[in-house]
Structure 1
Amino acid sequence: MGAKFRNQRQKDLEDLFFQNFSKSEPIRILDVGGAAYFWDNSSLPALPNIEIVLLNLQEEQILNPKFKSVVGDATNMPEFEENSFDLVFSNSVIEHLYTWENQQKMANEIMRVGKKHFIQTPNRYFPVEAHYAIPFAQYFPASLLYFLLTKTKLSRLQKWDPKAAQQYLDEIRLLDQTEMQALFPGSNMYLEKFMGMIKSISAHNLA
């Protein structure tokens, strides 16, 4: 189901993107926290004059010359000048920043370095928590969720490594539509729905 939503989101992103940019002009994209394989089903890497910069805490292995890996911090990007990218994209990263303050810093940096943006995050209030695939896990006490992750196979039919489980519990701060609107004022909200419920939220200024 997740792959189906990602593919549709990517198609809709491209439809919106080409309302703003020509396929023949030079285009520079920053993917915050991204990987090259995410773009495998996209038509964007096939454009003649495109560069996609992947910003991560560690260097990514790159095989396609149209991609570039940069080591950096999503909350502080002094290596990039204002409006140096035509599009800043990010998929399920902004909820991994521990605090609201860090999420604000990331949003501000995205709007500083990018002319356009498309930033996706799971919806806090969707019944199935996206990272653990456990219904209503976002409402559990941290100690109970840690126990379920490390001692049972309720999360994706496997037991989590204790360090990985604690890391996720520490870093994830889920967002809702109101907070995304506050982080990206003036942006449109692209809402993905499942059975009438909002599964994920993307803030963008492409329309």
Structure 2
Amino acid sequence: MKSIDSIYYRDAGSIRTARGVSARARKAMYDLFISEFAPDHSVSILDIGVSEEDGLEANMLEQQYPWPGQITCAGLGDGAALRSAFPKVSYVSISAGERLPFQDGQFDIVCSNAVLEHVGGPSERAFFLAEAQRVASSAFITVPNGWFPIEHHTAVPLLHWNPKFFRFLLKRTRFSYWTTPRNVEFLSEALLAKEWKGKKTLKICKTGMYLGPLSSNLALIIR
């Protein structure tokens, strides 16, 4: 079974310049993380949903962070490729939709990039965020902005602004994987704020690349 990452790189990631643009967006997200949390050598980080794929934009935290020994990576695979690329990090295999195999408060910060939109519907997102808060006192979670004009996983413009139309038109194309809500949801700032209403302190920031006032990504900052 192919991973979400491999399907992405087959689709939007295969377009010339797409991976370079993605790398710049992810560097902007990394810079926002450093700016918001100012972590030092003592801060422990859990990175949920690391990629087994290689590339400029893959695993930006592991590429850039000056204290990789403080990072524990969690992913669905065996982690062999990631351990080879980043030998100083730790790796733990996890199962989708299940409780994380870590103690309460084991980490200072949970990071997760481009995972929340793939976990399922509102109840699955709530569970994912609850687990992130259980194992760490703070979290930095980034997702594609559903109102960005270019859909991240297919590079098809504008259609995703009407999810039903997007799924209907692309159902029988090579992009059919992305037409199932379980595989990708189109998340917006308003939707995330509504789902999080009344819960722990949350700030939602625009980040990534910009087209006018529209950002490619959103960052959920939980303290």
TM-score category of the 2 structures, normalised to the smaller one: 0.7 to 0.9
Find the counterpart in structure 2 of residue 136 from structure 1: 158
**Matched-pair contact (CA < 8 Å) for 1:76–1:109:** no
| Counterpart residue identity of residue 72, structure 1 | I
| Counterpart residue identity of residue 199, structure 1 | S
Give the number of the structure whose alpha-carbon radius of gyration is greater. Answer: 1
Please state which structure has a larger fraction of its residues in strand.
1
**In the alignment, is residue 32 of structure 1 matched against residue 51 of structure 2?**
no
**Matched-pair contact (CA < 8 Å) for 2:94–2:100:** no
Find the counterpart in structure 1 of residue 37 from structure 2: 17
> Deviation per CA, 1:72-111, whole angstroms, max 9, x where unpaired?
1354324211111111111111001222211111011111
Shift of 1:6: 1.0
For structure 2, the residue ranges without an aligned partner over 5 or more in a row are 1-20, 53-57
After superposition, residues 163-202 of structure 1 pair within 5 angstroms as 165-170=175-180, 171-181=183-193, 182-183=195-196, 185-192=200-207, 193-202=210-219
Looking at structure 1, the residues matched to 132 and 93 of structure 2 have their Cα atoms a distance apart, in angstroms, of: 16
Looking at structure 1, the residues matched to 72 and 40 of structure 2 have their Cα atoms a distance apart, in angstroms, of: 19
Q: Secondary structure at the match of 2:23?
A: helix
Looking at structure 1, the residues matched to 100 and 192 of structure 2 have their Cα atoms a distance apart, in angstroms, of: 23
Shift of 1:146: 2.3
- Aligned residues: CA RMSD: 2.3
Looking at structure 1, the residues matched to 179 and 120 of structure 2 have their Cα atoms a distance apart, in angstroms, of: 9
| Counterpart residue identity of residue 74, structure 2 | L
> Deviation per CA, 1:113-137, whole angstroms, max 9, x where unpaired?
1111100011112221111110123
After superposition, residues 41-60 of structure 1 pair within 5 angstroms as 41-42=63-64, 44=65, 46-47=66-67, 50-60=69-79
Shift of 1:180: 2.3
Distance 1:130 1:185, change over 3 A: farther
Looking at structure 2, the residues matched to 176 and 87 of structure 1 have their Cα atoms a distance apart, in angstroms, of: 23
TM-score by length of 1: 0.78
After superposition, residues 108-119 of structure 1 pair within 5 angstroms as 108-119=130-141
**Matched-pair contact (CA < 8 Å) for 1:128–1:136:** yes
Runs of 4+ residues deviating >3 angstroms? 182-185
Find the counterpart in structure 2 of residue 73 from structure 1: 95
Report the count of equivalent residues: 184
| Counterpart residue identity of residue 167, structure 2 | A
Looking at structure 1, the residues matched to 32 and 128 of structure 2 have their Cα atoms a distance apart, in angstroms, of: 24
Q: Secondary structure at the match of 1:129?
A: coil
Shift of 1:204: 0.8
Q: Secondary structure at the match of 2:29?
A: helix
**Matched-pair contact (CA < 8 Å) for 2:200–2:222:** no
| Counterpart residue identity of residue 23, structure 2 | A
| Counterpart residue identity of residue 201, structure 2 | G
